């Protein structure tokens, strides 16, 4: 595993980025930017409440709500009603109702569907309506729904992607 260093306000432990907890440890919505010292790549994580369980590498959209304790939460299945949201990938499995950091920008490993296309490097990935994973596509340009780009070719169920960090339209 790569070594990460925080580029902004310190967090309790860099391991907190991949360790969900049953109690809130940080302010919801907090964004932490880190640098992978091995690759010098920048990654961004946001602290949220998970409204449903998720597997490591699973995807969701971030919603902002008015309910105390879940103001920033993940919506497990993106829908057309989700409007324009940031897509995130879970760096570790998380239980419903738990708190943790989700990755919103930078290189990560994601669960993919649609890989029968033999997704190539630089191909776009998006969130489908009702989806809980990124979908690999044959597109090589960024569209309104592009959440990530492939780093390496894959025909499997996981792949290395770079999350754009941009809001997308489902």
pLDDT of 17-50, one tens digit each? 999 999 999 999 999 999 888 878 899 999 999 9
Q: Are residues 81 and 27 in the same domain?
A: yes
Q: Print the domain residue range for 143.
A: 109-169
pTM of the model: 0.87
Q: Do residues 123 and 138 share a domain?
A: yes
- Give the 3-state secondary structure percentages of the chain, helix then strand then coil, rounded to 5: 5, 45, 50
| Shared-domain flag, residues 119 and 152 | yes
Backbone phi, then psi, for 80, in 5-degree steps? -60, -30
- The helices-and-strands tally (H runs, E runs) of the chain is 0, 12
Q: For residues 98 and 72, state if they share a domain.
A: yes
Residue carrying structure tokens 């919801």: 28
User: Do 113 and 102 share a structural domain?
Assistant: no
User: Do residue 49 and residue 18 come from a single domain?
Assistant: yes
Q: What whole-number distance in Å separates Cα of residue 87 and Cα of residue 46?
A: 11
- 86, 106, 126 — which closes off a domain? 106
Instruction: Quote the number of domains for the chain.
Output: 2
Residue 146: name the closest of 163, 133, 160 by CA. Answer: 163
Tell whether 48 and 100 lie within a shared domain: yes
Q: Is the pLDDT of residue 99 over 90?
A: yes
């Amino acid at each position: 595993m790569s070594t990460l260093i925080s580029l902004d306000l310190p967090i309790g432990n860099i391991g907190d980025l991949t360790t969900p907890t049953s109690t809130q440890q940080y302010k919801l919505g907090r964004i932490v930017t880190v640098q992978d010292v091995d690759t010098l790549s920048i990654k961004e994580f946001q602290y949220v409440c998970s409204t449903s369980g998720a597997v490591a590498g699973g995807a969701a959209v971030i919603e902002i709500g008015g309910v105390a304790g879940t103001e920033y939460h993940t919506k497990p299945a993106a829908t057309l009603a989700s409007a324009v949201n940031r897509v995130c990938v879970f760096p570790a499995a998380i239980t419903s109702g738990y708190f943790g950091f989700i990755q919103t920008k930078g290189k990560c490993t994601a669960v993919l569907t649609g890989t029968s296309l033999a997704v190539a490097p630089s191909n776009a990935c998006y969130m489908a309506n009702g989806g809980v994973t990124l979908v690999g596509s044959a597109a090589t340009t960024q569209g309104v729904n592009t959440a990530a780009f492939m780093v390496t070719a894959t025909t499997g169920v996981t792949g290395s992607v770079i999350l754009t960090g941009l809001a997308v339209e489902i």
